[in-house]
Amino acid sequence: MKKNNESFMSKKAFTIPELMIFMVIVGVISVCMMTIIKPNEKALKYQYYNAYNTLKTATYNVMQDAMDASDSDQSYSETDKKFPETAKELCKKLAVNRDTNDNYGYINTAKYNCISGPTVSKSAKDKNDFTDAKMAFQSSNSMKYYITQKDSYSFPDELGANFEMDYFVVWVDLNGNKGPNTAEIKKGRLPDIVPFVITSNGNVIPVGIPTTDRRYLQATVTFVSDDNEESYSDPMNFYSAQVTAFGSKEYPSSDFNSIRDSWDKVFQGTAIVPTTFPKDVSQSSKCRVNAGDVPNCLLEIVEEKGFYN
């Protein structure tokens, strides 16, 4: 009996310091796993805004160059006097070619493939479609840009006649060579390859999953009263701002960001078509208009604050 008691008493449990060390190790592993998975997803929203703002600024300058060339007394080519007609021309006017002094381009590049004029299709979905051979250029911050050929669509406008629009789709791989290199939601992971529409009148329009997924894009709504006084909403996800400002209607002749359901028809059967729209948002009473009236609310895409704080 004594021997058994001694054997029982000789068994050891973890000490408090050992338990604390174990908990610290588990904590470090957990933080590492979160760093690998979540921050990459969190960073996509800031990379997305960066890509949107970069394209918006470059496209604005391309449009201004065309207008300046048309108004100038100097000799410019007909290509310089209008917005690009082909993917190759758009690529050339967006991206800086470091090997020449042709004075084109506003996005600094690490790789430049505009000369060969590669394109991708609107139905491109994953890394098998977005290859380096089809890449238009890679910016100096490692984002990869892919451009479709120009297309056109006649958008119904709530203000009256249809609105004809020529456009390109520019796909951007937000994190370059890092995965998952897809334009589709897979197992809940956000796509890192996202589409933007660039119109022939110089607008850059967010389309696809980022316009409905709350984890990507923020916007504010500007309310304009009858006496032209302005007030502003707090930032909200893009879809909520879109519905708050325009409800179920579309006004492409006054605000391209009002287009929502029409993109389903334009991009049906491609990875661009947004996921199911959430239904928990209603139009603000401040923004409701009578038939034939111009919307009295505006939508502005904004950068989410706090990532680097």
- For 195-214, the pLDDT digits (tens) are 999 998 899 999 999 998 88
What does the DSSP 8-state code read for residue 232?
E
b vs e for 17-47, b when ≥16 Cβ sit within 10 Å of the residue's Cβ?
eeeeeeeeeeeeeeeeeeeeeeebeeebbeb
Nearest to 163 by CA among 151, 172, 171, 155: 155
Q: What is the pTM of this model?
A: 0.83
What pLDDT score was predicted for residue 113?
95
Domain residue ranges in the chain: 27-302
Euclidean distance between CA atoms 23 and 173, whole angstroms: 38
Q: Residue 27: which pLDDT band, with cuts at 50, 70 and 90?
A: low
**pLDDT single digits (tens) 76-93:** 888 888 889 999 999 999
- Give the pLDDT confidence of 254-306 residue by residue, as tens digits: 889 999 889 989 998 888 987 776 777 888 988 877 666 777 888 999 987 75
Report DSSP state, residue 179: S
Q: Which tens digits make up the pLDDT trace of 89-139?
A: 999 999 999 888 778 899 999 999 998 888 999 899 988 999 999 999 999
Which H or E element spans position 182? none
C-alpha distance from residue 93 to each of 141, 212, 248, 280 (Å)? 18, 30, 36, 41
Residue 218 DSSP SS3: strand
C-alpha span between 77 and 132 (Å, rounded): 31
Query: Mean pLDDT, to the nearest integer, of 238-242?
Result: 93
Contacts of 216 (CB under 8 A, 6+ apart): 44, 45, 48, 190, 194, 209, 210, 237, 238
Report CA Rg, the chain. 25
Amino acid letter, 257:
N
